[in-house]
Structure 1
Amino acid sequence: MTERTQHTSSNPRLVSPLSATLGFSQVIDDIAATAAERERDHRLPHEEIAKLKALGFGALRLPSDAGGHGVSLRELFVVARDIAAADSNIAHAFRNHLWQVEAALKRREHPFHARVLELTAQKKTIGLGFVESDVRAAGARPTKVLTRLEWDASRDVYVGSGEKPYATGNLYNDAFTGVAVESRAGRTVQYVLERGAGVSNDDDWQGFGQRLTGSGTARFHDVTVPPAHVYPADPPKSDEAAPWGFTFHQVYLTNCIAGIARRVALDGAGVLRARGRNFYHGEAAHPTDEPVLHALLGRIRAYAASVEAIADRAADALQRAWDAYGTRDEYEATLAATLAASEAKVVIDDLAPQIASWLIDLGSGSVVSRIGALDRHWRNIKVIASHNPRLYKERLLGQNLLSGQLPPTGAFF
């Protein structure tokens, strides 16, 4: 770990020293200050996300001489958690882009991944164009939104159409990637499609939490892809390579929940300071002097700190897996990261909703108004936690301990 992440504080705060060093303090503070208002008014955070792009959040992992900040994977999670503490919707909206950057950094010699890094260096973000084929089928894998790219000789471009539901972040993204069959040779290809004519996004996501992630339906109608942005498919992995390629997704979401837990602790202190009167059967005239409320705030703080520590453990394991990429230690390090991610999810998905509930206990009737939108913390936690349910993580962890059963390798575990 570099010096940038060694500075710690005994007192929880919204912005880490690392984010401050990288120049993100003001925008994170501003995002936090307006989060409740956005929630109440259902105002999509286009402006806030644009500011983070301009500061290079989407390019944090690129080397400084390639348009980025050169941070480690572990440091990326530090900054992402700060943003999640400010507004978990915004942090969540970047997940698919950041995962693609990670994949591209490992395979940058391939022209498809080189294009992803080129767009990222331009401070653009890239969404996914995959969709699950049949949610009713056990083990269903993602298929293609643009199932075919038809060659249009009159314009020297490929043309395709398709829809992607649950297109998290695509409302804010500048380009999209996917896999399709191209018509001329009938081969499977990868493509990069930049936003333009024929691309639209509907804000039709109906979740009770994470309402501003842009997780509605992305539509692609007769979009054109120049042949220069159609690439060969990635070669298959060798038998020795680690098969768990999607642990980043889970650690990132769990990291977002850890950010919400931190925000609950900070909001708890604010709630207690703002309460104007105590219950008549309390022991102090003012809530800020009430011992039982001090104790509850302390419990919230301690549990939130524990959640962050467990998330850090998973992020550290993922960093070790990254460091082992391409070495003989890759398999074991990647397996360990997948198991650590599962352990973190099981514990955090249990603890974090309880922490958010204690916030309501702390404020009592003075915090249930929709104006403060404090209920968003519980709702957002539960919606993020619904990704890849912990019940299956629990089962796998037990099976692995008993018999050495290995985790599934698909993106939806």
Structure 2
Amino acid sequence: MTQVQPKLPATRINDAQQALAVAQQLAEQFRRDAALRDRERQLPHHELAQFFASGLGAITVPRAFGGIAIPSAQLAAIVAILSEADAAIGQVPQNHFYALEVLRVNGSPAQQQRLYDEVLAGVHLGNALAEFNSPSAHQRSTRVTAGRLTGSKFYATGALFADRIPTAARGDDDKEQLVFVPRHQAGVSVIDDWSGFGQRTTGSGSVQFVDVIVSDEDVVPFQTAFERPTAVGPFAQILHAAIDQGIARAAFNDMLDFLRNRARPWPDSGVERASDDPLTLDRTGRLAARLSAGDALLALAGDAVDRAQQHATAENVAAASVTVAQARAWTTEVSLEAGNLLFELGGSRASLREHNFDRHWRNARTHTLHDPVRWKYPAIGNYLLNGVLPPRRGTL
């Protein structure tokens, strides 16, 4: 059993109000060079170390283990704040919190105590779930047998920065496990080969495991979290919805600043400033309303996730999945709309490289493909019309 030490020791956060304040302070720092990091692909090693040293990485740890078990709506608000400042930094902790939720529902008390203690100390959990060599995203060939882990992963968001890499692998019984692999264990190779046109600094590259020695204490059941009702799926998805909401707000705020201070009015529009144009005012007001609706949907979804966590019945989990799917579908569309509208109203000057405003649309377009919205509407409709409970999985 390997004990993992964080890059920096973490402070303790005592309540949700403090967590929100810390997130806002960090967001102010992260926002300053977000455009530069995206343009030059400067990976946020320092910024993520700051995040986990701040104590925010431990805010979902249950109270029985020393955490504050922050409500899901407030967690989503924090993720949205961070994603508004820098969408890549906002996405990286999503897998960290997801792994902690799997640990909460499936870990043994000894595993929970040890791994929660690490996280409270500042340990960052990455991920290695998806694979190229399987016919579909939920099928994996990576194996953990006789204490050895072998396989290859991609889209391993955050693994490049992490202290442990929770890894999906099939065990001796062919059931999927989540192996909390130490990042620097012999045989682990994290490859910085992510080249997406959006979310460029998430470190979402490849991970290879070659005969990696793993301890039984680091292996947590994974598949069984979906064989019975748990909130793991909707919990994962509300964080993705929050990332999209943050991206939308970043695009909207940059649009407001540009229209007020830098945009020129359309020729023959009859106004002196672009911000006085009636059509611009209409489109801006419409998007503002849609953004506020996104905040409200996230709050409703957070309450539904909390109910499913506290009382994990089939109906509560289904209701949470559907409520979160509605929020995710909405924030998907609004984040893309906000990125588009910035250019529509800002005109060609908004596309200048010095602004790097295109990163908002690129980030939204890339992140919203994580689990496409087209999967969600049929599940919502089937539940509402026919009472069919949605499938239990991490993408719904």
Tell me the TM-score normalized by structure 1.
Answer: 0.82
> Which residue matches 2:151?
162
Query: CA 1:25/1:292 → structure 2, altered by over 3 Å: closer, same or farther?
Result: same
Give the Cα separation in 1 of the matches to 2:226 and 2:277: 62
> Which residue matches 2:305?
318
The answer as to whether partners of 2:248 and 2:334 remain within 8 angstroms in 1 is no
**What's the CA shift for 1:78?**
1.4
> Which residue matches 2:284?
297
Any stretches of 5+ residues in structure 1 without a counterpart? 6-16, 151-157
Farther off after superposition, 101-110 or 353-362: 101-110
Report matched runs for 1:227-246 at 5 Å.
227=215, 229-231=217-219, 233=221, 236=224, 241-242=228-229, 245-246=232-233
Aligned length: 381
> Which residue matches 2:144?
148
Q: Who wins on radius of gyration, i.e. which is larger?
A: 1
**What's the CA shift for 1:377?**
1.2
Mapped pair 1:284 → 2:271: yes
Give the Cα separation in 1 of the matches to 2:377 and 2:175: 40
Moved over 6 A (4+): 185-189
Give the Cα separation in 1 of the matches to 2:291 and 2:32: 20
Greater RCO (Cα-Cα under 8 Å, separation 6 or more): 2
Q: 1:275 aligns with which of 257, 262, 266?
A: 262
The answer as to whether partners of 2:80 and 2:245 remain within 8 angstroms in 1 is yes
Q: 1:211 aligns with which of 183, 200, 204?
A: 200
Give the Cα separation in 2 of the matches to 1:321 and 1:404: 18
> Which residue matches 2:181?
193
> Which residue matches 1:360?
343
Matched to 1:193, the amino acid is: V
Give the Cα separation in 2 of the matches to 1:174 and 1:129: 13
Give the Cα separation in 2 of the matches to 1:290 and 1:282: 7
Tell me the TM-score normalized by structure 2.
Answer: 0.85
**What's the CA shift for 1:316?**
2.2
The answer as to whether partners of 2:128 and 2:155 remain within 8 angstroms in 1 is no
Q: 1:254 aligns with which of 214, 233, 241?
A: 241
**What's the CA shift for 1:370?**
2.0
Matched to 1:75, the amino acid is: Q
Matched to 1:248, the amino acid is: F
Matched to 2:39, the amino acid is: R
Matched to 1:111, the amino acid is: A
- Provide the secondary structure at the position in 1 that maps to 2:180: strand
Q: What is the RMSD of the two structures over their aligned residues, measured on CA atoms?
A: 3.1
**What's the CA shift for 1:357?**
0.9
**What's the CA shift for 1:339?**
0.9
Mapped pair 1:263 → 2:243: no
The answer as to whether partners of 2:237 and 2:395 remain within 8 angstroms in 1 is no
Q: Percent identity?
A: 27
Query: CA 1:223/1:281 → structure 2, altered by over 3 Å: closer, same or farther?
Result: same
Query: CA 1:365/1:105 → structure 2, altered by over 3 Å: closer, same or farther?
Result: same
Query: CA 1:230/1:46 → structure 2, altered by over 3 Å: closer, same or farther?
Result: closer
> Which residue matches 2:296?
309
Query: CA 1:62/1:160 → structure 2, altered by over 3 Å: closer, same or farther?
Result: closer
The answer as to whether partners of 2:325 and 2:376 remain within 8 angstroms in 1 is yes
Task: For residues 221-246 of structure 1, give each alpha carbon's deviation from its aligned partner in whole angstroms, at most 9, with x where no partner exists.
Answer: 34333x4644574795798x526631
Give the Cα separation in 1 of the matches to 2:246 and 2:205: 23
Query: CA 1:315/1:127 → structure 2, altered by over 3 Å: closer, same or farther?
Result: same
The answer as to whether partners of 1:19 and 1:82 remain within 8 angstroms in 2 is no
- Provide the secondary structure at the position in 1 that maps to 2:151: strand
Query: CA 1:265/1:129 → structure 2, altered by over 3 Å: closer, same or farther?
Result: closer
